[in-house]
Amino acid sequence: TKSAYTKIFSDLSPYQNITFAWTLSPQPIIDKYEWATPSLVQRLKAAQIAINKGWNVRLCIDPILYQDNFEQDYNDLINIMVETLDIKKVNQITLGSFRMSGAHLRSIKKLSRSDLAFYPYSNQNDMITYSEKIESFILEFMLARITPHFPKERIRTWQRQS
């Protein structure tokens, strides 16, 4: 979710078989593509409230967008996560580069609604994503930034199927 709603955590007792997940993006990405959604800090504060109440929490940095200021924006995202959350109490972090079906991308191109639609993606079995080189760079970059703060065995990554 991209929510900052936290009342549910006060109203219910935690269940160990339920995990709340937050989708996280750098604030410049939120500002550009995720209109009318809570800020990064609002999402992180909501996740921390859930953690404090005993709920399982997953952070999803997905989709990761490779664009101008990629390294700075995602480095800032990790720094803000570490400053705002008790990150060691997060159950899992997932990472995944941008991807979508070819049909969905063609629909977006027809509407001309987003600059994301016109990047020169790789197409493998009608799955549109970055080239393997860029995808590898994205995941290596993110893992190098996250693993000093969070155990690698609790990080899941999306990678294309060969």
pTM of the predicted model as reported, rounded to 2 decimal places? 0.92
pLDDT tens sequence for the chain (162 residues): 788 889 888 889 999 999 999 999 999 999 999 989 999 999 999 999 999 999 999 999 999 999 999 999 999 999 999 999 999 999 999 999 999 999 998 888 888 767 888 888 999 888 999 999 999 999 999 999 999 999 999 999 986 655
Q: What is the pLDDT of residue 107?
A: 87
The answer to whether 94 and 59 are in contact (CB under 8 A) is yes
Residues 6+ apart with CB under 8 A from 140: none
Neighbours of 121 (CB within 10 A): 19
* DSSP string for residues in 56-83: EEEEEEEEEP--TTHHHHHHHHHHHHHH
Q: Which of 59, 58, 131, 141 is nearest to 99 (CA)?
A: 131
